[in-house]
Chain A
Amino acid sequence: MSWMRPLGRALIPIIGALAFSILLLLLVGANPFEALGLLVKGSVGSAASLSDTLTAWVTMVLAAAGLVVTFRAGLWNIGVEGQIIAGSIAAAFVARTVEGPVAVMIILTMLAGIVGGGLWALLAGVLRVYGKVNEIFGGLGLTFVASSLATYLIIGPWKRAGVASTGGTDPFPRDSWLPTSGTLRVSIVAVIVAALAVVAVYFMMRGTRFGLRLKAVGQNLRSAVLFGIPNKRYLLLAFIIGGALAGLAGTIRVTGFHHKLVSTPSGAHGYLGILIVLLAGFEAKWIAPIAFFFAAIAVGSSQLPLQMGVDSSLGGILRGVLVLFVLLFGGWQARRAGTRLAAGSAPPVETVILPASPGGEG
């Protein structure tokens, strides 16, 4: 029974969004069932499409896993998008300058992404902890900086010979690409890394003193102090871990997907990660299936214009509708929760959206 509530929390907005999308499809004169069928076929219907979906899934999952840590610490790490970009840039730097066998390059580019994303998040953390700059604003600002830096590098120091285009750098040497097999684009290395990250975050939050203390810091900073928890250190650590995982996602975006640095390497996977974590009720164990759904839509929706001739914006609209329903539903739940919790002081994250399931399992 314990899974009923989180399941409903995730499924109700998804079903709502699907119903709304069916309506939309009818309005544009497309057969909604054919469209949904295409979505499914285009995302999981063949080895190739499943492989594309998994490729998108990997980076969403990594970003979301990092966000579980920061959300649990009570932080709205909106800057995750910038941390992915920072990780991409760092990985691109290594891929462009270091030569080595594939295995070495995998490790080096991933380390670079971890460091790049972690440091970028640490910046937001220092602004928050020492500069009293709300992490939402700090994060948004740093995302803008990271994104500008990527564009600058692409049309500046890292541009293709004789070319100044924001389209991207030269492709990395093949040794820096994440290895794949056959015509499938997904790298098993990336999938393993993502799965390990989710499992690690799950056990860290559930089974370790660190995770418990982080949760205490996130729920009630003042009580955490009286439990003897060095809260500044914990907040910064949460930022670093969240940023490192986002940076890892950035690495995989450039070494396993684009194979070069592009001006928007994150593909909004950070923002999607936030959505995934909200739907997951901040629990690592729900990330994988929810991210899979988002990845399937992102990848499968390109089939609608391809095969039905409907406008190619429809996939984006579908995603937008989903976001809207999550927020609406979340707001509705928060209002209900608010009535219940009004007598106490609800923690900041919880008041904005869904209450976490009762203790012991997070």
Chain B
Amino acid sequence: MRKRSGVSVFLIVLLAFALLAAACGEDTGDGATTTAGGEDTATTAAAEGLKFGMILVGPSNDRGWSQAHYEAGQYLEEQLGAEMIFLDKVNVADLPDKTVDQVAQDMVNQGAQLVFLTSDDMRDGALLAAELNPDIPMIWSSGDNAWAEGEAPAPLDNLGNIMGRMEYGKMMAGCAAALTTQTGSIAYLGPLINDETRRLVNSAFLGASYCWENYRGETTPLEFTVNWIGFWFNIPGVTLDPTQVANGFLDGGADVILSGIDTTEALDVAGQAADAGEAVWAVPYDFDGACELKPEICLGVPYFNWGPAYLKVARAVIDGTFTATWEWNGPDWTDLNNKETTAVGFVKGDGLSAENSSTLDQFIAGLADESINLFVGPLNYQDGSTYLADGETATDAQIWYTKQLLDGVTGPSE
């Protein structure tokens, strides 16, 4: 008797669900098949518009990394009449009961013919989802699995990578900071530590040092400090609090904070300090509109413009010509902020003085015509070992996989 009553409650709960499902059951039931044939969907895609999935690690309105991807998705919708299905805050803290691969699977089940997995953190989920859905093209942005010359190739016919050459953006950011600093102390608010983030810290440091020495003619070394919070954005109780870390930078004498995280705490904290009368500035990251929160102390923002690269992939999927490649796209040096062409851009902020602005333009021109190449030896790692020998120009692999922070940067390399 007692057992049966337990079962009956279970059935009642199920029944309630079933009734609800029936009440709103006009859905087409596209979720029933788990792996739709890729070629079929690819050919029909052109006729009725592409449906693609976009998985974001943070909120879609973070004024940073995730919003840049989200707006690229909207760009695809405009350009192609495509339909985006997206889910934001896909990380273990915000979405504890779904893994990345499950979310990708949901999107495929909903009819997505292409899925963008837009965080370095999604490597395992991307590989698993691509493996389980071999006919659905996927892009793991910022990843390296499709790079045959990379250190951890994991080639899958349907999983490609796209990344922007943000080194240039970070060099510009570092330069703007070095030109502006009054204390000679710059801080970098780092996310987690990996090849990508070391690469970007080193780029910012190289740009800063160059401008410090060559344009300002300083002989005392520039102070360049990095501190890492542990993830791409704040997860209370797990990561360090970026607001506290940024405040710590200012307390430690830094007057410009470069942001390396997905969200805007560096600009927020510097803005509060500036309101209190301090002479401090910040350089946000990732998203072209990031300066808008506090333009007067914003020196500018290096940002990703994923739209063109994603558009290319989507067109290839529609045409049935998709191949899984690793792409590392540079800025459009002829028109740095052209949204149709560039992969990486830099928008100057109101905090940058007119004089420093023209100096920065000079620096950018040097990068564009390759008269300035900062990844040339001699450069040493923090522990004194050689990164690039005298006169040696770094290969892509050497830039992508920097093993340590460079000599001159204060802060842990791993």
| Direct A/B contact, Cβ within 8 angstroms | yes
Contact of A302 among B21, B103, B124 (CB under 8 A): B103
Cα-based distance from A293 to B89 in the complex (angstroms): 23
Nearest A residue to B6, CB-CB: A285
Query: Of A106-114, A134-142, A262-270, A346-354, which stretch is located at the interface?
Result: A262-270
Please give me the residue from chain A that is nearest to B4 by CB atom: A3
Q: How far is the CA of A6 from the CA of B9 in the complex (A)?
A: 10
Across chains A and B, the number of contacting residue pairs, with CB separation under 8 Å, is 182
Contact indicator per residue, chain B 395-413, by CB within 8 Å of chain A (1) or not (0): 0000000010000000010
A320 to B168, CA, bound (A): 45
User: Quick check: is A151 within 8 A (CB to CB) of the other chain?
Assistant: yes
Residues of B near A162 (CB, < 8 A) are 193-195, 403, 414
* Binary flags per residue of A131-163, CB closer than 8 Å to B gives 1, else 0: 000000000000000010001000100011011
Q: Please tell me which one of the listed residues A2, A45, A262, A265 contacts residue B21 in the complex, with CB atoms under 8 A apart.
A: A45
Contacting pair A257 B230 (CB below 8 A):
no
Cβ of B32 within 8 Å of any chain A Cβ, yes or no, is: yes
Using a CB-CB cutoff of 8 Å, which residues 168-187 of chain A contact chain B?
168, 171, 182-183, 185
The answer to whether A183 and B105 touch (CB under 8 A), given A36-B20, A164-B192, A288-B6, is: yes
- The answer to whether residues A164 and B92 also contact, given A263-B235, A264-B238, A292-B10 and a CB cut-off of 8 A, is no
Cα A49 to Cα B230 with chains together (Å): 32
| Partner-binding segment picked from B38-46, B94-102, B313-321 | B94-102
Q: Are A257 and B99 in contact (CB under 8 A)?
A: yes
Q: Which residues of A contact B109 (CB under 8 A)?
A: 46, 48
Bound CA–CA A197/B413 (angstroms): 46
Q: Is A40 an interface residue (CB 8 A)?
A: yes
Q: Which A residues are CB-close (under 8 A) to B121?
A: 165, 167-168
| Closest partner residue, chain B, to A263 (CB atom) | B238
Set of chain A residues within 8 Å of B194, measured between Cβ atoms: 160, 162-165
- A44 interface residue, CB < 8 Å from B? yes
Binds B, one of A68-76, A239-247, A303-311: A303-311
**Interface majority SS on A: helix, strand, loop or mixed?**
helix
CB distance from B129 to the nearest CB of A (A): 9
Bin chain A's interface residue count.
Answer: 35 or more
Instruction: Looking at the assembled complex, report how far the CB atom of A64 sits from the nearest CB atom of chain B, in whole angstroms.
Output: 14
| Stretch of B23-31, B174-182, B266-274 with 4 or more beta carbons under 8 angstroms from chain A | B23-31
Closest chain A residue to B196 by CB distance?
A163
Q: How far is the CA of A55 from the CA of B238 in the complex (A)?
A: 24
In the complex the two chains form, is B235's CB within 8 Å of A166's CB? yes
Give Cα distance in the complex from A267 to B394, angstroms. 43
CB distance from B53 to the nearest CB of A (A): 9
A332 at the interface (CB under 8 A from B): no
Query: Is A260 in the interface zone, CB < 8 Å from B?
Result: yes
The interface centre, meaning the residue of B24, B191, B237 with most chain A CB atoms within 10 A of its CB, is B24
- Say whether, besides A165-B192, A267-B92, A36 and B24 are in contact (CB < 8 Å): yes
Cβ of B228 within 8 Å of any chain A Cβ, yes or no, is yes
A182→B34 CA distance, assembly (Å): 10
Chain A residues lying within 8 Å of B332, measured Cβ to Cβ, are none
CA distance A17 to B88 in the complex (A): 25
Residue among A42, A183, A265, A299 with the highest chain B CB neighbour number at 10 A: A183
Residues of A within 8 A of B (CB): 2-3, 6-7, 10, 33-34, 36-49, 52, 55-56, 147, 151, 155, 159-160, 162-168, 171, 182-183, 185, 257-260, 262-269, 285-286, 288-289, 292-293, 295-296, 298-299, 302-303, 305-307, 312, 361
Sampled A-B contacts (21; CB under 8 Å): A6-B9, A33-B23, A36-B24, A37-B27, A40-B17, A44-B14, A46-B31, A48-B106, A162-B193, A162-B195, A183-B133, A258-B92, A263-B235, A263-B238, A267-B92, A267-B97, A295-B97, A299-B98, A302-B95, A305-B86, A307-B85
